[in-house]
């Protein structure tokens, strides 16, 4: 059982006792400790991607976690865009255009990272008649869409999100051992 599975089990647990027979809090503690040593948004990424929207918690809404993640991620994309000088910000119009680009990249990258499955085959890679899905060519992943500069930045930020989550899960997994 990997860290993501243990974290999902812990978040959905109805019994958070910590004794010889119950170990649900171990994954939660490891996630919190991994956040303090890393970028700080790893457990939020795990919660939004894997734990929010579970079936038995219909009374709770994961929108608060998603909203805070979007706010944090947008700020991080703006920071990365300025560091990497995606757009030269000379005039007021340039600054406004840059912020529009940063916001679009943040929203599209987060949306693709959260649900990047091919809509034609629902992420299976096959059509109902057992042929390879033509739009995704069997990869099960949706195309980001668009072209050129913005698409490349979105793909870059999707890989950044995946790297943040993998690094957080690796740190938390080490702490669980």
Hey, where are the domains in the chain?
3-176
Q: Which residue has the tokens 């679009």?
A: 104
| pLDDT value of residue 163 | 92
| pLDDT value of residue 118 | 87
| pLDDT value of residue 169 | 86
pTM to 2 decimal places = 0.81
CA distances 98 to 10, 74, 122, 158, Å, are 41, 13, 34, 19
Q: Which residue has the tokens 């700080």?
A: 40
Q: pLDDT tens digit string along 82-141?
A: 999 998 888 888 889 999 999 999 999 999 998 888 888 888 888 888 889 888 888 888
**Which residues make beta-bridge pairs with 117?**
141
């Amino acid at each position: 059982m990997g860290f993501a599975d243990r974290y999902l089990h812990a978040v959905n647990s109805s019994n958070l006792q910590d004794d010889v027979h119950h170990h649900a809090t171990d994954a939660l503690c490891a996630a919190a400790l991994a956040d303090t040593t890393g970028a700080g948004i790893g457990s939020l990424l795990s919660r939004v991607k894997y734990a929010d929207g579970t079936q038995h918690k219909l009374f709770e809404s994961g929108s608060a976690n998603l909203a805070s993640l979007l706010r944090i991620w947008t700020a991080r994309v703006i920071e990365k865009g300025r560091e990497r000088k995606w757009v030269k910000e000379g005039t007021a119009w340039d600054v406004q255009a840059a912020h529009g680009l940063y916001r679009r990249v943040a929203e599209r990258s987060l949306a693709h990272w959260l649900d990047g499955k091919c809509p034609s085959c629902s992420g299976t890679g096959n059509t109902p008649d057992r042929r390879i899905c033509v739009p995704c060519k069997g990869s099960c992943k949706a195309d980001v869409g668009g072209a050129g500069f913005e698409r490349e930045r979105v793909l870059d930020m999707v890989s950044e999100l995946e790297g943040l989550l993998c690094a957080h899960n690796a740190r938390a997994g080490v702490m669980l051992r």
